[in-house]
Amino acid sequence: MTLLVQSSPRLDRVETEDAVASPRGTRRLAWGGFSVLLDRRSLAANLLLLVLVLAASLAYLCFGERTLSPAEVLAALHGTGDGLSTFLVSALRLPRLGAALATGAAFALAGCLMQTLAANRLATPGIIGIDNGATAFAVASVVGLGFGLAPPAMALAGAATATTLTFGLVLGGGTRGYRFIVAGIGVGAVFGAITNLLLARVAIDVANAAYPWTVGSLSARPEGAVWALTIGLALGLPAALALGRSLSLMGFSVSVARSLGSRLGRRRAQVLITSVALTALAVAVAGPVGMVGLLGPELARHLASRRSVPVLASALAGALIMVLADLVGRLMLSPLEIPVGIVTAVVGGPWLLWILIRPRSQGVA
């Protein structure tokens, strides 16, 4: 992770008397009036995750109902492969890989931002009902109750509604405790019921077609939604990286963050909007695969340093988890396909339970 060091006070322990000496475990690169503080551990973590994502992507392109060798895949990517492998790679597997990478990164990034904002490790969009809100509204659009809006736009409206409800319900109670989470679960249950209600109203074949999407699947991937997500990610990731310093301050109490010079209200609003928008756009592509929003930041926090909020590492970890989960889902019962939402739920459920029943109460970050 990189931190811009300007004139504002540094939170890290300074080892020597020299005012510009870098804290332990970091390296300072300076040019002109600006300098960049590179955290070695975070840098290593990001590189490791990047390599893993690339390796997983290659495996994703190789394996399927017909297994291709890495050489065949690379040839197909260059356009020099034979017809079948070129078709398999560039027409079938590559678009799906792109969707998996983008949705995974978006879910995990949104999860990381929301956790930091609420100062609550369990407060991922999937758990506090935002995924379900987006799903309910997107399904409404699919079954023709969308006021003429496309699924991504409706998903945005749904995510905003669910967020308003969850945060509104705990107004004054704070977001750090478990009550916030349970209120979110309640909101999520209502929207889940609304999704079922909408599906019950339509013809059975429409409902069956929408079903895998309501549990989270990459097989549908509406074209417009993928483009919307790509644009959202292209705007959201830099925004989140730019917010990195403010994110670190959100872990402190309000007064400490203010006295350290953060415009807390405005930063919070920016973080919330980024997180909700990314969630909604990802849901519009793949349905509610909310567990990635919990698992991605978890993995990133284990690998990266504790000095800052692992924004980039979360996005990489989310993309990695999504690609691996979808690969497993495609291969395990081939030719049958397990929806990726089921795979992540089976993997993430025990992890969530472990967070909750762990001996020392560390459930709340």
Partner 1 sequence: MIASAAHRRLAGQGMTLAGLLLLACLASLLWGAGDVGAERALAVLMGHGDDEARFVVGTLRGSRTLVGLAVGMALGVAGALLQAVSRNPLAEPGLLGVSAGSAFAVAIALLLGTSAATLRVGVAQLGALLGCLCVLGVARFRGLGHDPVRLVLAGAAFSGLLAALTTLLLLFDQRAADEIRFWVVGSLSGRQLADLLAILPSFAVAAAITLLIARPLAALALGERLAAGLGHHPGRVRLLAILVVALLVGGATAIAGPIAFVGLVVPFAARALAGPDIRRSLWLCLLLGPLMVLVADVISRRVVAPSELPLGVLTALCGAPVLVAVVRRRRLPML
* Binding residues for partner 1 (CB under 8 A): 122, 169-170, 173, 177-179, 181-183, 185-187, 189-190, 192-194, 196-197, 200-201, 215, 333, 336, 338, 342, 345-346, 349-350, 352-353, 356-357, 359, 363
Nearer to partner 1, 74 or 215 (CB): 215
φ, ψ of residue 131 in degrees (nearest 5):
-55, -45
In the complex, least distance from residue 207 CB atom to partner 1, rounded to whole angstroms: 10
- Residue 23 to residues 14, 34, 341, 361, Cα–Cα distance (Å): 5, 17, 41, 30
φ, ψ of residue 36 in degrees (nearest 5):
-120, 135
- Whose CA is closest to 160, among 311, 283, 314, 287? 283
Nearer to partner 1, 62 or 185 (CB): 185
Cα 125 to Cα 297: distance, rounded to the nearest angstrom:
12
Tokens of 77: 């990517």
Nearer to partner 1, 293 or 310 (CB): 293
In the complex, least distance from residue 290 CB atom to partner 1, rounded to whole angstroms: 10
In the complex, least distance from residue 102 CB atom to partner 1, rounded to whole angstroms: 23
DSSP letter string, 22-44:
PPTTEEEEEETTEEEEEEHHHHH
Cα 260 to Cα 162: distance, rounded to the nearest angstrom:
32
Nearer to partner 1, 79 or 335 (CB): 335
Strands 26-31 and 2-5 turn out to be: unpaired
In the complex, least distance from residue 179 CB atom to partner 1, rounded to whole angstroms: 5
In the complex, least distance from residue 106 CB atom to partner 1, rounded to whole angstroms: 21
Nearer to partner 1, 3 or 286 (CB): 286
- Residue 226 to residues 95, 99, 154, 356, Cα–Cα distance (Å): 9, 7, 15, 34
Nearer to partner 1, 134 or 233 (CB): 134
In the complex, least distance from residue 180 CB atom to partner 1, rounded to whole angstroms: 9
Cα 157 to Cα 173: distance, rounded to the nearest angstrom:
25
Nearer to partner 1, 79 or 172 (CB): 172
In the complex, least distance from residue 107 CB atom to partner 1, rounded to whole angstroms: 16
